[in-house]
Structure 1
């Protein structure tokens, strides 16, 4: 196997990983959005101590300008899923790649804000939110890596 073949085959995985992780993000953030609007306490997360999903998801930081951050997360992952379908990875147009990159940059900035709020303002961590944060960071890394590499040859 040549270096080009090995490199080309590994690069072909990134779009599918981004699509898969975005879809998982839709599911997790949809669950958090559902819990937000139903005021549910079925978060399957401890509700006391440092790990306290209810404390985080019901804090003043659970909304931004009156919009639940869970809903913003859901919209982010829906957008990332749409931008990650195979046709948008293959197009010659630069806008899907730029939109993906802009999306993950905004997503990471928002994650940094939310982690700051959890650690230094709320003094609690939500496990479900941490899954969303981790997915966003991995998406950021994958999209940046794929954007920096030359296009795949078919």
Structure 2
């Protein structure tokens, strides 16, 4: 059973599952971008996901797709939210997890702005990743607000 200061098993499981799902969707979006195909269910040129995925804003400096940033984010978050990481007493794990999700959420807010204001279309797959990031953000910030970094050692229980 979790100590009074440690994160609950539900929090640990929820963050890990969200990270795995985010990794899967981000990997799929990265694949479809490089393959030059629209995601499943979004194959027509007028579909919102195709409009977003192949817009000029879908690439960072015209070099690599934004989906790669999502993939990189979740490649960090999966190990940081794994059951093993939650048991580590090192503050660096806590701060990396919290810092990454804050940066990820800021980037999501920017991407939602780009979709709505600049492109005028909302990609359902991108929205799924945004929701997963938002839920991770909410869970981890809530945990930080009520548990804080000083109790990392109690998370091993």
For normalisation by structure 2, the TM-score amounts to 0.85
Answer whether contact 1:35 1:43 (CA < 8 A) is retained: no
Aligned pair partner of 1:67 in 60, 64, 68: 64
What's the C-alpha RMSD, in Å, of the aligned pairs?
A: 2.3
Answer whether contact 2:37 2:43 (CA < 8 A) is retained: no
Q: Which residue number in structure 1 is paired with residue 109 of structure 2? A: 112
How is 1:68-107 mapped onto 2 (pairs within 5 angstroms)? Answer: 68-107=65-104
Answer whether contact 1:47 1:53 (CA < 8 A) is retained: no
Q: Secondary structure at the match of 2:78?
A: helix
1:34 aligns with 2:31: yes
5+ residue gaps, structure 1: none
Q: Partners in 2 of 1:16 and 1:142 — Cα distance? A: 11
Q: Partners in 2 of 1:25 and 1:137 — Cα distance? A: 11
C-alpha displacement of 1:67: 2.1
Give the paired residue count: 149
C-alpha displacement of 1:11: 2.2
Q: Which residue number in structure 2 is paired with residue 58 of structure 1? A: 54
1:23 aligns with 2:20: yes
Answer whether contact 2:19 2:77 (CA < 8 A) is retained: yes
Change (3 A) 1:89 1:27: same
Q: Partners in 1 of 2:52 and 2:71 — Cα distance? A: 17
Q: Partners in 2 of 1:9 and 1:47 — Cα distance? A: 48
C-alpha displacement of 1:55: 0.4
Answer whether contact 1:11 1:146 (CA < 8 A) is retained: no
Answer whether contact 1:46 1:52 (CA < 8 A) is retained: no
Answer whether contact 1:18 1:84 (CA < 8 A) is retained: yes
Q: Which residue number in structure 2 is paired with residue 131 of structure 1? A: 128
5+ residue gaps, structure 2: none
